[in-house]
Amino acid sequence: MDSLAHVERIQCTAEFPVTQRLHVPTMEEYRRQYDLSIKRPGKFWAEVAADFTWQSPLPADESAILSYNFDLNDGPIEVQFLKGVKTNISYNLLDRIIARGSGERIAYFWEGNELGEQKSITYSELRLEVVRFANALKRQGVTPGDRVAIYLPVTIELVVAMLACARIGAIHTVVFAGFSSQSLADRMVDARCTVLVTADAAFRGEKFLHIQTIIDEAVAVVLRRALPLKAIILVRHFAASANRNKAAYEATMAAYQSPHQALYLPWDEVVRTDGSDDECEPEWLDAEHPLFILYTSGSTGKPKGVVHTVGGYMLTTALVFKHAFNYVEGDIFFCTADLGWITGHTANVYGALANGATSILFEGIPNYPKPDRLWAIIDGYRANIFYTAPTAVRSLMKYDEKYVLAHPMKELKLLALVGEPINKEAWFWFFRTVGKERCPIVDTYFQTETGAPMIFPVPGPVALKPGSATLPFFGILPVILDENGKEIYGSDSGFLAFKQAWPGIARTVDGNHERFEQTYFAKFPKYYFTGDAAFRDSDGYYWITGRTDDLLNVSGHLLSTAEVESALLNDKRISEVAAVSMPHAIKGQCICVYVVTKNGYIYDDEVEKDLRNLIRKTIGPVATPDLMLAVRGLPKTRSGKIMRRVLGKIARGEQDFGDISTITDETIIDHLIEARMAKSD
Ligand code: PRX
């Protein structure tokens, strides 16, 4: 029998290499700092702030550092951190690190999609690129508060574009480059972006992606909606690619004529390298100035533009990065998250640079050209911290272990996870096969809205329990609530909420503060409600058990069932649809849709193919359903509400439907079960 399978608690001391230089050596020290951060947040955060550069003095009174209102009965929800104090995050991430003598340190190693495609950039070089691009943006008329959309594969240019915006006070909104043209257009219109930074084409594994086609489709939509788009800055990424099939696409690239040619400006032409643009005084911004908008799914189907601010996000990401990974100078950090998600923003960009860390950016996919790519990268760059998602672990576990074992990964000191609950089997495989039982696994729980991990085992003192995110980080006060919003003490399950504000929490939903208030603060007055359910065990450890709303988590990406449904309803042959989640061995969860066609239309393979394409085009490939069931009707209550609970149970093959006395047509249940059974594997 598997020697560790029964182990419930793993203490990461002594034999763990991470413990050699611990920032928090003991539980007593963890508790001391935690208590201070909760009881005197002003004092705690002022100490963290002392390490950063501010253009005006911090308030002497600690109660003026962090203030907030989480109670809608007392007025609007708001959080203010160091309000009135001026800073610049690009200055703090680059100039401040360089001034400490680390200008020659590598900020990023970049590994492209192809083997051997590598670049690196030091802190000084990165600063120069940022400054030049900041000047280029200014020439396009970008001023503080303007919004810049970024739709790029994982490249150094993406980081440069983010930090250039931050330097001049523009607000970036990075859209994951796997999203469809429609999703990009919706986000650009919602955020009122005046400039877009993108690339011509890229390879993702074997697949060729002509990004410019997606951009041109999106641009047609945004111009129709009267968005005053001034420029599209285009990285000529295709020319630099070393893909062996590149020649096959050269003619396509050369022949492509954009209908919006006049808007395009090649990156290498807007960036001046003659020395005339090599300085750009940072824009000194209020700590509460918005830094970026990042879209995340919402229950209504319309994505929410979550707004993070300069000062609070900077300190939270910096502190979390240092502690979650026990970062010390010289560490090489590798996180597989795409920069288009919050983890990419927080770990790979802002948290890493604020600590002067060296990170690896990887453009490709884990199984190309072989399923050992991540292990080869860890070995090749001597990475010692590896941060990924449970889905990636599960998808790599299915290959022969030889792919991992071919790479000794001797330097690894710490593994970390994010994005979704991890099952024990995957946890132990990661622990043993990748980490050789020497590396703690830091399971970090957070959300786009929370900015940085909130619950995770501080490496060293906090014993691990496979599957649990364990204990709250400094400044975080989680609670478990019952249905009536009453706090539950001791070991129990319920709704996971936070009782106190921390500097890095999102401030609003862009352009819709009421939606922000209603989504996170209305269900349980006085608390920020995460939308997640959790169990707290007798050691006070938190176990995140999943969403309580209509959001589902596919491969660590949140999607809303409403978004999938509204995409499908654009097909004129469809009268009704319902999307629900189902467990999936690799993705964690996947989507099952029930489809009812209009009279006169037959559901056949062709319709199914069209519907799948419609979702890919409207949202993106990540939202493609795994199971589509053609049915004659949906189960509804007498008031006309779709009984999603029943649909979810049928999709999952469960039989106990609970109370279905309000159903209008009882015969529909057998029909749905039959449709489900017909598609069982
Ligand atoms: O349900 C939780 C899950 O992911 C949601 C947040 O998704 P998103 O905003 O896209 O950010 C993902 C990356 C931080 C949460 O509400 N989640 C995130 N981390 C974990 C998790 N579930 C379990 N364990 C985690 N470590």
420-462 pLDDT tens trace? 999 889 999 999 999 999 999 999 999 999 999 999 999 989 9
Rounded distance between C-alpha atoms, residue 505 and residue 525, angstroms: 17
109-127 pLDDT tens trace? 999 999 999 999 999 999 9
Whether ligand 1 lies within 6 angstroms of the CB of 448 is answered as yes
Q: Which atom of ligand 1 is nearest to the CA of 456?
A: 26
pLDDT on residue 21: 86
pLDDT on residue 19: 57
Q: Which atom of ligand 1 is nearest to the CA of 544?
A: 23
509-544 pLDDT tens trace? 999 999 999 999 999 999 999 999 999 999 999 999
- Residue among 420, 495, 589 whose CB has most ligand 1 atoms within 8 A, to mutate: 420
547-595 pLDDT tens trace? 888 888 898 888 888 889 989 989 999 989 999 999 999 999 999 999 9
Rounded distance between C-alpha atoms, residue 214 and residue 218, angstroms: 6
pLDDT on residue 80: 98
Q: Round the average pLDDT of the chain to a whole number and report it.
A: 94
Q: Hey, whose CA ends up nearest to atom 11 of ligand 1?
A: 447
CA 645 and chain centroid, separation: 28
pLDDT on residue 8: 67
- Residue among 532, 550, 559 whose CB has most ligand 1 atoms within 8 A, to mutate: 532
pLDDT on residue 3: 44
69-87 pLDDT tens trace? 999 999 999 999 999 999 9
Rounded distance between C-alpha atoms, residue 350 and residue 368, angstroms: 28
CB count in 10 Å sphere of residue 183: 24
pLDDT on residue 134: 98
Q: Tell which wins on pLDDT, 615 or 642.
A: 615
Q: Hey, whose CA ends up nearest to atom 8 of ligand 1?
A: 447
- Given pLDDT bands bounded at 50, 70 and 90, which one contains residue 366? very high
- In this predicted structure, the answer to whether residue 609 has a pLDDT above a threshold of 60 is yes
Query: Backbone phi, then psi, for 615, in 5-degree steps?
Result: -65, -45
pLDDT on residue 237: 98
Strand bridging mode 66-69 / 78-81: antiparallel
Q: Residues 87, 91, 96, CA angle at the centre, nearest 5°?
A: 110
Q: How far is the CA of 532 from the centre of ligand 1 (A)?
A: 9
Q: What is the DSSP letter of 275?
A: S
Whether ligand 1 lies within 6 angstroms of the CB of 444 is answered as yes
Angle between helices 667-678 and 644-651 (to 10 degrees): 30
Say if CB 294 and CB 173 are below 8 A apart: yes
- In this predicted structure, the answer to whether residue 681 has a pLDDT above a threshold of 80 is no
Question: What is the CATH architecture of 555-678?
Answer: 2-Layer Sandwich (3.30)
- Given pLDDT bands bounded at 50, 70 and 90, which one contains residue 1? very low
Q: Can you say whether residue 10 is alpha, beta or left, with left for phi > 0 and alpha for psi between -120 and 50 degrees? A: beta
Q: Which whole number is the average pLDDT over 309-335? A: 97
- In this predicted structure, the answer to whether residue 5 has a pLDDT above a threshold of 50 is no
Whether ligand 1 lies within 6 angstroms of the CB of 393 is answered as no
Q: How far is the CA of 371 from the centre of ligand 1 (A)?
A: 25
Whether ligand 1 lies within 6 angstroms of the CB of 391 is answered as no
Q: Which whole number is the average pLDDT over 311-337? A: 97
Terminal Cα distance for the chain, rounded:
30
Nearest alpha carbon to residue 166 among 95, 89, 51:
89
- In this predicted structure, the answer to whether residue 490 has a pLDDT above a threshold of 90 is yes
pLDDT on residue 14: 45
Q: Which whole number is the average pLDDT over 453-475? A: 95
Q: Hey, whose CA ends up nearest to atom 25 of ligand 1?
A: 445
Tokens of 291: 């830094």
- Which residue ranges make up each domain of the chain? 2-88+297-546, 125-283, 555-678
- In this predicted structure, the answer to whether residue 496 has a pLDDT above a threshold of 60 is yes
Whether ligand 1 lies within 6 angstroms of the CB of 419 is answered as yes
Q: How far is the CA of 445 from the centre of ligand 1 (A)?
A: 6
Nearest alpha carbon to residue 82 among 63, 67, 65:
65
Whether ligand 1 lies within 6 angstroms of the CB of 530 is answered as yes
Q: Hey, whose CA ends up nearest to atom 7 of ligand 1?
A: 447
Q: Which whole number is the average pLDDT over 202-213? A: 96
Whether ligand 1 lies within 6 angstroms of the CB of 420 is answered as yes
Q: Which whole number is the average pLDDT over 304-328? A: 98
- In this predicted structure, the answer to whether residue 384 has a pLDDT above a threshold of 50 is yes
Say if CB 153 and CB 117 are below 8 A apart: no
Give the dihedral sign, CA 656/496/493/590.
positive
pLDDT over 70 percentage in the chain: 97
Whether ligand 1 lies within 6 angstroms of the CB of 338 is answered as no
Q: How far is the CA of 681 from the centre of ligand 1 (A)?
A: 29
Q: How far is the CA of 443 from the centre of ligand 1 (A)?
A: 11
Whether ligand 1 lies within 6 angstroms of the CB of 343 is answered as yes
3-class secondary structure, 389? coil
- Given pLDDT bands bounded at 50, 70 and 90, which one contains residue 7? low
- Given pLDDT bands bounded at 50, 70 and 90, which one contains residue 546? confident
CATH class of 2-88+297-546: alpha beta
Whether ligand 1 lies within 6 angstroms of the CB of 37 is answered as no
- In this predicted structure, the answer to whether residue 17 has a pLDDT above a threshold of 70 is no
pTM above 0.85, yes or no: yes
Q: How far is the CA of 447 from the centre of ligand 1 (A)?
A: 5
- In this predicted structure, the answer to whether residue 4 has a pLDDT above a threshold of 70 is no
Strand bridging mode 542-547 / 528-536: antiparallel
Q: Which atom of ligand 1 is nearest to the CA of 443?
A: 26
Q: Which atom of ligand 1 is nearest to the CA of 421?
A: 23
- In this predicted structure, the answer to whether residue 644 has a pLDDT above a threshold of 80 is yes
Q: How far is the CA of 523 from the centre of ligand 1 (A)?
A: 20
Question: What is the CATH architecture of 125-283?
Answer: 3-Layer(aba) Sandwich (3.40)
Identical topology for domains 2-88+297-546 and 555-678 = no
Q: How far is the CA of 597 from the centre of ligand 1 (A)?
A: 35
Whether ligand 1 lies within 6 angstroms of the CB of 464 is answered as no
pLDDT on residue 510: 98
3-class secondary structure, 62? helix
